């Protein structure tokens, strides 16, 4: 498995857009829309996990996420791994690659929003806060020092 930063115009950009649109997670449609409209600016990025030439998952690296109060950035977000690939550390590998990229961009820390507990701590993150998202739910904010 490899993790690739996908750039608009790449062959994989269209494939990832379609994969996100049709994945089992509702947020995939949102990502597909962002990709179609190329709403990524500056250092923002999309990463794809690829196994045997097939997309297995994705994540994003963004300035803003699904929160009216955006007091943290950059976000590693929209983490998704296809059901048939779960349990094989694909999320960990995408997080590692996004962290490497964040460091290249000059960031000293990264943030992940989630309603999950226990998983991101295994990747070296610690919970630092909670934020109410646009849907009215409370998510944990996890932070990792990288620089």
The pLDDT value recorded for residue 60 is 97
Please write the tens of the pLDDT for every residue from 48-101.
Answer: 999 999 999 999 999 998 888 888 999 999 999 999 999 999 999 999 999 999
Q: What do you get for the CA distance between the two ends of the chain, in Å?
A: 26
Q: Is the pLDDT of residue 122 over 80?
A: yes
Which listed CATH number (3.40.50.2000, 3.40.605.10, 3.90.180.10, 3.40.630.30) goes with 2-145?
3.40.630.30
* 124 token code pair: 């070296």
Phi-psi region of 93 (alpha: psi -120 to 50; beta: other; left: phi over 0): alpha
DSSP conformational letter for 100: H
pTM of the model: 0.94
The pLDDT value recorded for residue 98 is 98
Residue-range domain boundaries for the chain: 2-145
């Amino acid at each position: 498995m490899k993790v690739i930063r996908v750039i608009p115009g790449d062959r994989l950009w269209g494939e990832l857009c379609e994969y996100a649109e049709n994945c089992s997670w509702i947020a995939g449609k949102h990502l597909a829309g962002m990709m179609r409209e190329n709403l990524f600016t500056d250092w923002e990025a999309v990463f794809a996990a690829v196994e045997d030439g097939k997309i297995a998952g994705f994540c994003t690296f963004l300035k803003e996420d699904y929160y009216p109060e955006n007091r943290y950035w950059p976000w590693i977000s929209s983490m998704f791994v296809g059901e048939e690939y779960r349990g094989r550390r694909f999320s960990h590998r995408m997080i590692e690659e996004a962290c490497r990229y964040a460091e290249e961009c000059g960031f000293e820390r990264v943030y992940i929003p989630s309603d999950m507990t226990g998983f991101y701590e295994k990747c070296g993150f610690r919970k630092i806060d909670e934020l109410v998202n646009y849907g009215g739910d409370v998510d944990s904010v996890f932070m990792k020092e990288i620089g």
